[in-house]
Structure 1
Amino acid sequence: MEGQPDEKLSDQDRMDDRREPAEDEWKSWQRGQVRNTLHLVSAAAQWILLLACLIYLGISSLQPSMPQKDEVAWTYISYTGESVKGTAVNLTAEAGSIQIRNGSIMVPCDGLYLMSLEGNIHFPVQGLLKLTLMKTDKKPHVLWEQTVEESGSAVSLVTVLFLFQHDNITLLTSSEAIISLSFSLVLLSPVDDNVKCQL
């Protein structure tokens, strides 16, 4: 009788011995599954990040690139005041990069310019008044001239001109007047992109 419990214990010990390796094997397999799942999730996240970077780079390379240029040469003038016959109107810039000296606009480089002028002229004397836009360099040259017949008349100009560096542009009236105008000059295309405008 005493031999039977020993046999039972030994059978149970044997079953426990068999169960322990199976449990260890099961736990090891579960850890391996978790590790494989983590590797899979990590790899998927890396691929998604790589794909997002490639899409971003592709979109940014497809966008048209803006030419890297320095500041565009331009000026805007708003003037209200009196003019004296034969004397340049004392223009001053409100905004822009083109310099104005002694009422004259200094052209910074050779090229095509868009010029716009509009306003009203009031003059006390009966008769005609001439408003003249001149280029004053070695040889003064009239760029534009408009005859105003009635006081309070509107003047308007929109044109494209080729101007040379160091040209000065002035505005003159043929008699005393009160002028209210806005004037702008914008460089559309310089002759040589490699030469910097003197701003």
Structure 2
Amino acid sequence: MEGQPDVEPRNQDQMDRKREPAEDEWKSWQRGQVRNTLHLVSAAAQWILLLACLIYLGIDSLQPSTPRSDKVPWTHIRYTGKSIEGVAMNLTAEVGSIQIRNGSIMITCDGLYLVSLKGVSIIPDLEKEDSLKLTLWKTDNKTSRALWEQTVQDSGNAVYLTTVLYLFAQDNITLWTSSNAIIADLSFSLALLSPFICSL
């Protein structure tokens, strides 16, 4: 009878030891299940987002597109004539949707513009000065600054410019010469590449 109480604590210890690994295993299994559930929810959310993007792109591509010339402001100018020192060149549009007023190109949309300028023959009045500067000016409500400038030193020099400029709505673009000159076959194009804000 005296030996029986010793057996019970031993059996209890053994059962506790067996129970601890089983509980650890159970907790580990539960953590794994939670992790698997989170991975599954994350994967499902990603697939739903991907499907939504594909549907959006599909709907966008099915919409009828308007002709590019209707929605993209652009202009093409050809100029042959005399320039006067201190006066903006009297540019007029040959084709395009951007308005030109008093020789100024009127910008109506914020965005990146492709600008191309080519002058085949510019003959400065060399009696007055050794060279002539051709300058592209940007004027807004408050400031006026040069966007580009090229010096023409010899009679009959050609001028080339191809660049991308960020212009704002309400900007005016003008072309000036530093002295009187005869300009032949000046070609000037300006087209909006990426619109941000338009006040059409």
TM-score, length basis structure 2? 0.63
Superposition pairs of residues 166-181 of structure 1, within 5 angstroms = 166-180=170-184, 181=186
- Please state which structure has a larger fraction of its residues in strand: 2
CA distance in 2 between partners of 1:80 and 1:156 (Å): 16
Superposition pairs of residues 1-199 of structure 1, within 5 angstroms = 68=65, 70-119=70-119, 120-126=121-127, 127-137=130-140, 138-180=142-184, 181-192=186-197, 196-198=198-200
Equivalent pairs: percent with the same residue?
A: 62
The amino acid of 1:79's aligned partner reads: Y
Distance 1:130 1:189, change over 3 A: same
The amino acid of 1:81's aligned partner reads: G
Note if contact 2:89-2:174 (Cα within 8 Å) is conserved in structure 1. Answer: yes
Distance 1:165 1:87, change over 3 A: same
Aligned length: 134
Distance 1:65 1:156, change over 3 A: farther
Displacement, 1:111?
A: 0.3
Unmatched segments (≥5 aa) in structure 2:
1-57
Note if contact 1:84-1:176 (Cα within 8 Å) is conserved in structure 2. Answer: yes
| Structure having the higher Rg | 1
CA RMSD of aligned residues (A): 2.0
Note if contact 2:133-2:150 (Cα within 8 Å) is conserved in structure 1. Answer: yes
Note if contact 2:112-2:193 (Cα within 8 Å) is conserved in structure 1. Answer: yes
